[in-house]
Amino acid sequence: MRERYQGRYELRARIGRGGMGDVWRAFDHELHREVCIKRLAIELSTRSIREFREEARLLARLRHANVVSLLDVTEDERGAPALVLELIEGADLRTLCLRSSPGAHRGFLPDRVAVHCACAILSALAAVQRAVPGLVHRDVTPHNVLVSKEGEVKLVDFGIALVSGRERLSAPLTVRGKLGYMAPEQARGEALDPRADLFAVGVVLYELLTKKRPWGARSGMSELRQIERGVMTPINRVRVIKRDLVAPLEMLLAHDREKRFISAEAALRALAPFGSGDLEMLRLADISRTMEYKIPLHLAKAARDEADGQREGHGTKSKSLMATAVERRLRRA
């Protein structure tokens, strides 16, 4: 028998695994629809439960097209909280970025489509700031941005968010987040404000435009050292983009946060002319639907994580790693 929560939600397939727990495709028998359930790992701690409940409270206050929707909060068989979220059918930005995309130049996402994705993330962060002033997501990465088959762009995973000026949800002086996307002040363990997320958006946009992060180093710690020192490869050394687009990108990636945009809304106004509009959403939907690897999202994410781990150690080309990992996962499925 498949596991159920409160007799209503039936777990069907695991579609992701993170530091705090697992994410499952599930079925809501009361409303007859598929949903996503995020549950804590077996090893429970007071802090992880507190962070999990705080994530639920944050999502409950957010209603925005670019933020994943919280549908319900339930409990698993241990009495631990579980979040019921909308199920996004599609892929994350990391998966799209790793491959060549239809109509893209040399495998990059088309410039206007890439900027459209960045604008969607900024729009989500602007909504977050209106709902919870001072909130810092701390984990804005391509892994945490989902693209549906309809071209919707959704920011997910507020599990390590904090509110600047208030007590940290994580342990004091603990650096949380993915190394290659951390703002310099985040890497140093300093107090954060929402401009740290703007830096991460800049890294994501740079990566969508070039398939590389701004730091020449391969390993996470080497990237972190370059971020702390402010060492960045100018984007036009990797590939030429419109000069007018370079300025807002560099402002997002400013080493000194005082030189970044003052808010997500300000950054959105600067970037919107380069990528907003229904056309970009339609092109993104087409890219998502016609992915080279026709596999379920949960296998794509597992394969991506496996490929990322190998790439850190061997520096092998992303595409061949992804293909090998996918084949391996499909054999196990």
Measure the CA–CA gap between 98 and 308, rounded to whole angstroms: 10
Q: Residue 314 in 3-state DSSP?
A: helix
Task: Please choose, from the candidates 166, 198, 204, 171, the residue with its C-alpha nearest in 3D space to the C-alpha of residue 185.
Answer: 198
Place of tokens 């499952």: 24
Choosing from 28, 111, 139, 197, which is the catalytic residue? 139
**Beta-ladder partners of 83:** 38, 73
Asked if 181 and 144 touch (Cβ cutoff 8 Å), the reply is: no
Polymer length in residues for the chain: 333
Cα distances (angstroms) measured from residue 65 to each of 122, 153, 255, 273, 282 = 12, 8, 30, 20, 16
Tokens in use for 292? 């080279």
Catalytic: 244? Answer: no
Question: Helices 243-252 and 195-210, interaxial angle, to 10°?
Answer: 140
Q: Return d(Cα 209, Cα 186) in angstroms, integer.
A: 24
Q: Tell me which residues are annotated as active site.
A: 139
